[in-house]
Structure 1
Amino acid sequence: MLTATPLSVQIDAQHDDRLRVLIAGAGIAGLTLAALLRRQGLHPVLIERMPQMAHPGYMLALMPMVDAAFDEIGCHDDYVARSTPIATYAARSHRGRLMRSDDFSALLAMHGEYRGIDRGALLEVLTSDGCPVAFGTTIEAVAQMGNTTDVRFATDESPTEASFDLVVVAEGLNSRTRELLDTGEVSRVDTGWGGWVSWVDPAGVTDLGEEVWGDGFFLGAYPVRGRLGVFLGGSNHDTAVGLPEFAERVRAAAPEMGERLRAVLDGVVASPDPYYWALTDVRAERWVTPGAVLLGDAAAGFLPTAGIGAGMAIESAWTLGRMLRDTDRSTLQPVLEEWERVQKPRVESAQDNSRMLARLMFRRGRLIAWMRETITRMLTVRAVLGPIARLVAAQPDPDAAAQRARVPAP
């Protein structure tokens, strides 16, 4: 679990480390990297801007690209126990009629399982061995000084300044620290859509992910352990009427959605505290600057359309952590640059796939809905998610990449 720990205590603990690492952001990517580095005997300093871990949470679908990280951390069994398989995917028309049902387990059978887990449970899995963190702390300034990076913190604690060999910015989509680094252009895609995330009791089959792609709305239900995570959304203009009225519009527009999804819709409306999620993404031009890197959503924040963003964040943390395993201060910068060269194209390829699906899904108009459904009937899920499956099948070799970086060119 996360344990509130003063900055001074964390900084003192890394005094004799071969690499002094600061991780900004106690989200999925930051906690994965912190756990990996602790396994190597390092003591990364971890800070989090929130005064406590109070994120409302949402559902995550993780492909088997995460298995290597969980195996190395030693939490894979706990992950399996806290998650559930997503074996089948069902797509429904704008009227709610079942168009197709696909076997996800067959698609990924050679590589592992596609599993659903809620964010809170995943954070607990990643911190099961304990994890110190300084809450209510952010980075105010960063300066590269020789071979070290000087950081000034915005904090009520002492000290307010410290030096590190590496600063890892894993603060998420709207990272403020990213603006302090020379990461080039930061581009965004704003779909103009958003929606409510909530939890409902499972109804019927518990390993089924189900979606209705409507005319100006989207309803998805995804299994996690013991419940369903639900997203109900539409254009920002349409959702402005509020959840109850928007849900009634969806119910009227998709009368053939079936008993399970009608129950899901009732559960969303009855939810005491649904979380509204604006559907945007972000992509930084550069991930690596002298003495600092962007990680996870701070580097490339995903739309939820391909169910791949969290998995890529975990994989990126794993490849970075693995490449740092035998790295010291003298070889750090070339190793970071090689990590970016290997990992960034993979992440951006997955993000491109997510953006392509968003262009297909987040549209309105009866003709567009009909065309989308025609495409959906023609294409198999293997064809749509084929690029993602190929990424899973061809994970990089971080050990070989680190070795290349540490050996000077002749």
Structure 2
Amino acid sequence: MITDIFYSFIIITFMVFGFSRPYVALAAVLWIDTVKPQNTSFSFLSGKPLSLILTAFFLLTLLVNTKKLRKVNNGAFYILFFGFMLWITLSHLNAEFPLYSAIKYDTAIKTLFILFFIPFTISTKKDFDFVLSILYAASSLFITIGGIKSAMGGGGYGISLIGLQGSGFMYSEGSMLATLAVCLIPLSLYLAHYSFLSNKKIFRYYCYLVVFCALTTQIGTAARTGLVVLAVYVLLHLYYTKKKLKGVAFLMVLAVIGSQFITDNWLKRMESIDQGTTTEKSAVGRIVVWRWALDYVADRPILGGGFYAYLANAGKLDQYGQEGEVVISQGGAKAYHNIYIEVLAETGYGGLLIFLGIIVHTLLLNSKKPNPNDPWSTESSKAIKTFTLLYCAGGMFINVAFYPWIYILYTLSVAKNSISSKQVNEEKESRY
């Protein structure tokens, strides 16, 4: 009851301040779709269509505040975003399992539609940081829960650290939670030092807490994906850090902190990586599905098989094993466990090309020459680029292609690029 009252207060606050500020209303939609209080409530919010209500409210704010929306002069953004929406629609209409496909398509197309408006609603650095901070607060909630539970000795492979299995939460699965945890490390460091909230000590301390919880979450999930993503982060951190000794010192501190919570079960799980490609069923199962997907899409190269196309591999995976590998034989279907294979099988090579285009454009937007007079531009680009690369690395082993983060990072990058370009132009004009 108390929790529901608290959530209701947050929602009302969003609506009061968001009526004349579309970016606040948009942040409310992102918050509600991440936290999902209607799914965990046992009181008056239980089962309420909160996402629908706040989405409708956001669209209303767009109509009321049309003059406050900014222009987005980025042709590639329109081509890639509308192109992807069109392509997944065509793939869905051509789906092998139309009833199942409709479930995933409904969520995917609505998500893309709402996220499309991000660049139009964000006009200033403060708007950008506000939306990013709200999304960070919502997502880091799961990391702090999982991290604290892990630090206290909870968790284990196959156990939901956040205790929300079956509630529609994208991060109830260990590998997904572990990937998100590492992705939030660069975002935590950026927000702690460069956001408009960085002057608030309590916010900075919370960001540091999330970094700590990100490490303990890796141990609590015992997910090998998390270790792979963490290794990629170490390499990226050393690459982007100008002061190498300081960067190494930071990583050593993280290593020392994390080592205090390592368990024998975690070590045993990580040691299985060496044999993962031949004798470990979980890893071999992924590889076998990837082989099947490449064979499957050969007959549907343009549009793929639509959402949930992996259902077609039921009872067929034993045909794709190779000599020396453990035999994968199961009557049911097995998911892709790879975002690239997921997009390829479900939307064909055309969809995969656009999807990769979105990722590449995100990286390019954040690789432009930074404004030397504005560290915000440099550091926000570094955080988004690192987050994107980490997410793509983790995506090699989990199905997260149509979860919101990639498209959020892309649209935020478009918005940030517009803000930076405007700032540079204003500085040039002020010189004359």
Provide the TM-score with structure 2 as the length reference.
0.28
**Structure holding more helix per residue:** 2
Provide the TM-score with structure 1 as the length reference.
0.29
